[in-house]
Chains A and B, each alone.
Chain A
Amino acid sequence: MAELNGHGNELDDLVPEGGELGAVMRLPVTQAGRRATNLLRAPLPGRVAHVFERCFYLENSRGEMACVGEPSIGAGPLNALLGDQDVDVWPGAPWWRLLRPGHRYTSKGGEVWVGNGLVLCVRNASLWRAPHPARTLDRRLLECHLRGFRRAAQQAAPKEGLSFLVTGSPPPEADSLRGAIAAQAVRAVIPLSHWLAGQPEAGVSPEPGAPNKAAYSQPPPAAEALLGLGPGLTPSGDDLICGLLLALQALDRPAVAHALAQWALPLARHRCSPLSAAHLSAAAEGEGASALHELLQGLGRDATWTAEPHISALAGHGHTSGWDALAGVWLAMSVYAATAP
């Protein structure tokens, strides 16, 4: 999620002085996740929080966020996708250059007015919901898939971020910044994996009623170092936790995911950027980037599943965000494969 939904750099310096649009530009939102839909349709004012190459973030007065962008950013709970027919307005288009952090927006009557003349039409947007795995998990198949997953990852993983947890490669040298981040992540992930292994399996939980707090302990304090770990706006450690939360739910371990979320969300308020916290909150509710859900649909469940298309899709999410989320998926799945009866 370090840039899981963010795809670029700040644009302040590209915004013309006092630039104004010559006319109102209307763009239809064709699909939006639950959180994005709520924000765009709620009659609450807000501001433009971040502007990236392919998308921009709106934040309302309650601190809720939505990401408006071109279809290539993929569906997700925070994402509002603009129709294909309008994609040609993207790179270098006047409205894109004119948006800048701090611009106000207002929402009324199915339309969101942003900045000086961009109007998002949300009336006909369809609602995206995260799919739930349809097939039963097969542990042997999962082990086989994880081996393929690692092989495929070894061919494509970036040097930065936490992908070394997936590939099994040695972490970067500790005397570099990358190495320091990696070392900190390892110090947090090892006790976290022990915690995951020690939690009761699905079926023990009293869910969907109130969770049995006695059965599900809090993650170890060392894991706290993951929250907010990484240089960018949505740090690598947060991406990992998002992937972990989604994978635990896909593994039918909702009570463990709940315990993790109950621990992470309060910490995220002061340890993470608001954007990261919003993604963590959505992941706690079982929703993340559609590419992650598509991966989890088949991993350990579908004999025809292969890792490569999913890795390709996630690799397009920021430079390391997709990979960092994969590290979280890997953590949950490999612990499950090693410990499940």
Chain B
Amino acid sequence: MSGVVANRVRQGFYLDSVALMRIAAQVEALDGVENAALMIGTPANMEILAAAGLLAEGSREATPRDLIIAVRAAEEEALETALGQAETLLLRPRGENRPGAAGAQWRPKTLRGAARRMEGANLALISVPGAFAAAEAHRALREGLHVLLFSDNVSLEEELALKTEARERGLLVMGPDCGTAIIGGVPLAFANVVPRGNVGIVSASGTGLQEVSSIIARLGGGVSHGIGTGGRDLSDAVGGLTTFAAIDALEADPATTHIVLLSKPLSPKVAARVLERVANGTKPFTICFLGLDLSDLAVNIPSNAALAATLQEAAERPLGASLLQHEPPPPAVPARPGGVRGLFAGGTLCAEAQAILLKGGKQVYSNAPIPGARPASGSNGAAHLLLDLGADEFTVGHPHPMMEPGPRNKMVTETLREKDVAVVLLDVVLGHGAHEDPAAGLALAVAETAAFGPDRPHVVASVCGTEGDPQGRAAQVEKLREAGVVVAPSNAAAAVLALQIAGGNR
């Protein structure tokens, strides 16, 4: 082996193994350093060092109580620098040799440790592989913490057990698979920057909560709390345990004067129970249950509740405002033969678009069909096909399109080649957790298709977000418009426009 080797032995020194390996990696990255290792001086480790050509004469005297710093470098100068750097790193205050550590900060390893570190902490956000998530959530509940369970792949039985325990303890379990919440003005997971205000939101859908809270913000309103429940909460099996607990919490919250309930298609039985709960409520409600005709239920709509057919309407009603009075409508677009092809990052936005097309008398196909729509098949031709690209079949082994829009952009380009497509309908979701500049790649993908000629399908999009979001909504809208995308003020408005463009097509 080439180079020069030197060791330093620190008697009685110890550090955890990961910190030692991290320091070794940092030293190894220095100019002229060929190899570096920091290990306690056991015979087994000395054999490893010797085999790697890292053990210097004299170091065999080290004992298992000692730490050996071993470096091989191209020349003496680099060697001395590396050994000195290793010593410096070893002496850094506790915690600084850990990933992401900015100083001598204690980093909790358990929920209990974290909870006790922050006096008054009352919520744990859990994002671990699904198989481990329920156990962590139970721990959090036992610590008296509300839970936002970001993890998916939590079984229905585990969800029920968690929510039952939470109810007994007077706590909330948001999730599993809860991607969005805004608690006390703090956006959690995928959420937008919205001001605090008087509207409380309970939502079984992540992008539904994002769309409604963003439009509320753009209308000049604010959100007291946005509570995600998890997509299965309003199923027969779970029975709306978190929804009911969230309604109770918002009714007790003096800062909340109006409550919005949102869901993708849900159990009619549970919907009826929710309406009964609303009827007993003390505050006004706006209810938007996409894909469910509440008039079919054997329950009267409570006098303190208003129904909203779209997410936009659900945001407008509490404020008594109209989005079209705040933001200009999209320009008129000529009709074109062919179908609507929706490529959605947000599952609820896909469901909302389906509901609007179904209401417009269209036959709709989707990989996530709402009642009335049909399952997508291999070839839907000129049919109206709306895809939820965040569904499992598109995201197993791949990032969600909200985080990595590249694969969808490629699909947009490919779809714009299709002759029997009238309009490509898209959502662009901004906020924390989303891609830092989703419009840029999409604009590029659309701009590249200008060469396809004037017969190319139209592209209609909505941008879910606010000016306060890290991406800035206005800049994102502008990038899309410059590329020839027609940007509607909401997902519902975009779907209505798509319906108008493809209006002549069944």
**A88 located at the interface, meaning its Cβ lies under 8 Å from any Cβ of chain B in the complex:** yes
What is the bound-complex CA distance between A160 and B24, given in angstroms? 14
Q: Assess the B45–A9 pair: CB atoms within 8 A.
A: no
Instruction: Indicate if A72 sits at the interface (CB-CB under 8 A).
Output: yes
Contact of A178 with B by CB under 8 A: yes
Are B21 and A160 in contact (CB-based, < 8 A)?
yes
A177 proximity list for chain B (CB < 8 A): 21, 24, 37, 39, 48, 52
Instruction: Give chain B nearest CB distance to A151 CB in angstroms.
Output: 8
User: Per-residue 0/1 for B1-45: is the Cβ within 8 Å of any A Cβ (1 yes, 0 no)?
Assistant: 000000000001111111111001000000000000111101111
Instruction: Report the separation of the CA atoms of residues A161 and B112 in the bound assembly, to the nearest whole angstrom.
Output: 26
Q: Which of A204-212, A291-299, A312-320 contacts B (4 or more CB under 8 A)?
A: A312-320
CB-CB contacts below 8 Å: B53-73 with A: 64-65
Interface residues on A, range: 35 or more
Q: Is B366 an interface residue (CB 8 A)?
A: no
Residue of B18, B42, B92, B129 near A272 (CB, 8 A) is B42
Task: List the B side residues contacting A17 at CB < 8 Å.
Answer: none
Contact of B106 among A88, A92, A180, A225 (CB under 8 A): A92
Q: Is the CB of A156 within 8 A of B132?
A: yes
With an 8 A cutoff between CB atoms, is B359 at the interface?
no
Q: Does B436 contact A (CB under 8 A)?
A: no
Asked if A218 is an interface residue, CB under 8 A from chain B, the answer is: no
Closest to A158 in B: B18
Q: Is A309 among interface residues, defined by CB-CB distance under 8 A? A: yes
Q: Are A9 and B19 in contact (CB under 8 A)?
A: yes
Q: Shortest Cβ distance from B328 into chain A, in angstroms? A: 49
Q: Interface residue count for B (Cβ, 8 Å)?
A: 47
Q: Which of A91, A180, A233 contacts B14 (CB 8 A)?
A: A233
Which residues of B have CB within 8 Å of A92? Answer: 106
Q: Is B136 among interface residues, defined by CB-CB distance under 8 A?
A: yes
Judge if B95 is at the interface, Cβ distance under 8 Å: yes
Chain A 139-165 per-residue mask, 1 if CB under 8 angstroms from chain B, else 0: 000000000000110011000110000
- Assess whether A308 is in contact with B65, with CB atoms less than 8 Å apart: no
Q: Which of A7, A13, A88, A230 contacts B17 (CB 8 A)?
A: A230
B94 interface contact, C-beta 8 A: yes
Q: Is A287 an interface residue (CB 8 A)?
A: no
When the two chains form the complex, which single residue of A10, A71, A101, A276 contacts B64, counting CB atoms closer than 8 Å? Answer: A276
Chain A residue numbers with a CB within 8 Å of B38 are 231
Residue B116 at the chain A interface, CB threshold 8 Å: yes
Question: Complex formed: what's the CA distance from A71 to B142 in Å?
Answer: 15
A179 and B77 alpha carbons, distance in the complex (Å): 28
Q: Min CB distance, B120 to chain A, in Å?
A: 12
Q: Are A184 and B14 neighbours in the complex by a CB distance under 8 Å?
A: no
- Report if B110 contacts A (CB, 8 A): yes
B117 is an interface residue with CB less than 8 A from chain A: yes
Q: Give B129's nearest chain A residue, CB to CB.
A: A155
Cβ contacts B57-99/A at 8 Å (1 or 0 each): 0000000110000000000000000000000000111110100
Task: Provide the bound-state CA to CA distance between A227 and B39, in Å.
Answer: 14
Asked whether any CB of chain A lies closer than 8 Å to the CB of B47, the reply is yes
Residues of A within 8 A of B161 (CB): none
Say which residue of A151, A228, A232 sits within 8 Å of B16 (CB atoms): A232
Which residues in A have some Cβ–Cβ distance to B below 8 Å? 2-3, 6-11, 13-14, 50, 52-54, 70-72, 87-88, 90-92, 101, 151-152, 155-156, 160-161, 177-178, 180-181, 184, 224-233, 235-237, 270-274, 276, 308-309, 311-312, 316, 318-320
Could you list some 9 contacts between A and B, CB below 8 A? A8-B94, A9-B16, A90-B116, A151-B131, A156-B129, A160-B17, A177-B39, A230-B39, A232-B15
